[in-house]
Amino acid sequence: MNKKNLSLLGLALAIVLFFAVNITANATLRAVRVDLTEDKVYTLDEGSKAIAKNIDEPIHLYFYCSRSAASDYPQVLEYADRILGILREYERASGGNLELTVIDPEPFSEEEDRAVEQGIQGAPLPSGDPLYFGLLGTNATGAKEAIPFFSLDEDKQRTLEYDLSKVLWTLAHPDKKKVGILTAMPLEGGGGNPMMGQQGEPRWAFLDQLGDFFEVEVLPGSSDTIDASVDILMVVHPRGFSDATLYLIDQWALAGKPLLVFVDPQCDVDAGQSDDPSNPMSRFTAKKDSNLESLFQAWGFELAKNKIACDKALGVLQDVPSQDRRTSARIPLVFVPRLTEKELDREDPITRLLTNILLWTPGSLKQLADGATTFTPILQTSEESQEVDSMQFQFQAQPRELLASFVPGFEKLTLAARVTGNVKSAFPGGKPGAAPEGETPSAEGEPKTGGLSESSAPLNLVAFADVDMLHDRLWMQELGRLPGGQVLVKPISENVDLLKNAIESVSGGKELMSIRMRGKTSRPFERVQEIQRDADQRLLARQQELERKVQDAERRLGELQKAKSEGSEELVTADQRKEREKVREEFVQARRDLRDVEHSRRQDTERLGTTLKVLNIAIVPILVCIVAVGLGAARIKRRTRK
């Protein structure tokens, strides 16, 4: 066989081998994937995998994506491929209990009608065709969960896996858990005296928000029992609670049941507990604080007594008038801190996805030196904080005086914390009034009263040092009401999201809440951006100078035009005409120079982009050629030596 036929045979075998390897790999290695992204954005979190594996009944997911309509929008298609890849990972991890269907709803098709019917939103495109880009999930009971439209916002993309896992988790747990709220506050509204023209308090809106996810029951602060159907206990502003009620909370905590506590050194929305209700002035001295001092002591921490955690750096800015009301100044309200992601624990599932928490006269939680529990802050102030005596807020707070006397302690104060560990009862003698003093336990850990004297399961508590944060004014703004009575609201903080996350976290949705926020998927050329900023900075001064010339010329032309309109053309002197023409020429030249500057900036950017494209496209072929030439030269050199 000659060399030519041998070469053709080798080429044919190479082609056959190429296709054979690809076909074999496609058939046998479909489940093998390598995620080379920095933050592993295409790899499911362990919490997501656990949610998928624990699906007991079939769940169907319908991914709606108008690929034909999005053909001119590569960012949509790229994001759609990422979503589809993650959904396939869920499908593989579910062991067959999750079925995924991908639908491309064409305009005026049955698929489009079904998408609209199921609540998938269509975004109008310039072409006139709607873009459908959402997800619908259904379970065996017929329950539905949907993501109407996947936002392209970069921050929202970072929570994609959490949003998808939440859909699955909700469908896999269709039965709502029950939240019992033990409180001294009129959360359900009411009160007032219609006969006297007094309007009652409205129902707190966070109850309705929780009602979408949980069954909610408000319990009076005088309760001596907690229904067995309650799964999560919330204690909100326990002002004036009796020992019997405190014992209920103590026993709940010792059993390791989910517990949220909201206390406050000065609750601004509380009408207060007056010593003399018949005295109208007594409302100014009414007690508005709440604490669980005896329980907190047993749990290894405390609420700083009569102290408000103020913060100069985080205080909400507001226009505050002077004493004579003649002037005002925009100053921070040090007692109204707005927390950002810097003040939230980015590792805790309750706070890791939040960036905007608003508080009002919060308190400060501190771990006791001899505390045996694990005390983990999840909300903190900045280091520009100070503890201020709550007496300064008994009447109306004075923002100017508070700011003038503010002295930062250069220490972060804890506003909310997660507390875990084994603890002892705050009532070592058992239930108050149920047994003689000094009664000895009949069995280890169980007094004769039948209660627990120490933890039967680790404490499962999240404590907040503010109650006002749950009130409507701290998390929402009412925009109006629809004819059916539905209230339209605009969130001004993520306080309710914080509450939902806390309930989910303590109630056992650990897989869901353990999912971390992902890194950004877009990776800009940072060096390119730096070069562009330098170029912009060089041209900025010239651009501003030209813009001033244009504005000055426009002003002078306006003055000359006004002078012309007020007199006759005959009265305008030759010098004035020359001046007018000169100003026009300056105006035209300044506009021309300004366009040149903008053109130069665009040229620099385009030139840089072209250079990068050439380097990226040509560098690999050039390197291959260099290597090939080098190898060829080395081979020729070896032959000549022989």
Same domain, 114 and 52: yes
pTM of the model: 0.64
C-alpha triplet 62, 63, 68: angle, nearest 5°: 130
Same domain, 634 and 602: yes
Mean pLDDT over the full length of the chain: 81
Distance in angstroms (rounded) separating the CA atoms of residues 21 and 498:
52
Length in residues, the chain: 642
Same domain, 503 and 533: no
Same domain, 100 and 116: yes
Most confident of 139-153, 453-467, 514-528: 453-467
Listed residue (68, 255, 56, 53) closest to 165, CA to CA: 53
Residue 525 in this model has a pLDDT that exceeds 90: no
What's the CATH code of the domain at 420? 3.40.50
Lowest mean pLDDT among 32-46, 155-169, 227-241, 303-317: 32-46
Listed residue (241, 242, 246, 278) closest to 259, CA to CA: 246
Distance in angstroms (rounded) separating the CA atoms of residues 422 and 379:
23
Distance in angstroms (rounded) separating the CA atoms of residues 25 and 425:
62
Listed residue (176, 496, 501, 242) closest to 348, CA to CA: 501
Evaluate whether residue 217 is within a structural domain: yes
Same domain, 118 and 212: no
Q: Which residue has the tokens 């017929």?
A: 142
Sign of CA dihedral 533, 539, 541, 547: negative
Per-residue model confidence (pLDDT) at position 134? 95
Evaluate whether residue 234 is within a structural domain: yes
The model's pLDDT over 51-96, given as tens digits with 9 standing for 90+, comes to 899 898 999 999 999 998 888 888 999 999 999 999 999 999 999 9
| Backbone region of residue 433 per phi and psi (left: phi > 0; alpha: psi in -120 to 50; beta: other values) | left
Angle between helices 74-93 and 46-53 (to 10 degrees): 60
Residue 587 in this model has a pLDDT that exceeds 70: no
Evaluate whether residue 333 is within a structural domain: no
Enter the DSSP assignment of 569.
G
Enter the DSSP assignment of 454.
B
What's the CATH code of the domain at 133? 3.40.30.10
Listed residue (567, 476, 526, 577) closest to 207, CA to CA: 476
Same domain, 160 and 183: no
Evaluate whether residue 521 is within a structural domain: no
Evaluate whether residue 29 is within a structural domain: no
Task: Give CB contacts under 8 A, 24+ apart, made by 518-527.
Answer: 518/39, 518/40, 518/41, 518/157, 518/158, 518/159, 518/160, 518/161, 519/37, 519/38, 519/39, 519/41, 519/158, 520/39, 520/154, 520/157, 520/158, 521/37, 521/41, 521/82, 521/157, 522/154, 525/612
Listed residue (154, 97, 155, 104) closest to 131, CA to CA: 104
Same domain, 147 and 216: no
Evaluate whether residue 238 is within a structural domain: yes
- What one-character-per-residue DSSP string does 141-160 give? T--EEEES-----HHHHTTH
Distance in angstroms (rounded) separating the CA atoms of residues 358 and 470:
10
Q: Which domain holds residue 225?
A: 178-188+203-270+286-305+363-383+411-431+450-513
Same domain, 123 and 63: yes
Evaluate whether residue 492 is within a structural domain: yes
Same domain, 227 and 263: yes
- Residue 537 half-sphere exposure, CB side, CA atoms within 13 Å? 6
Distance in angstroms (rounded) separating the CA atoms of residues 109 and 403:
63
Residue 445 in this model has a pLDDT that exceeds 50: no
Total domains, the chain: 3
Evaluate whether residue 275 is within a structural domain: no
Distance in angstroms (rounded) separating the CA atoms of residues 335 and 361:
5
Same domain, 373 and 472: yes
Measured torsion, CA atoms of residues 134, 136, 137, 142, in degrees rounded to the nearest 10: 170
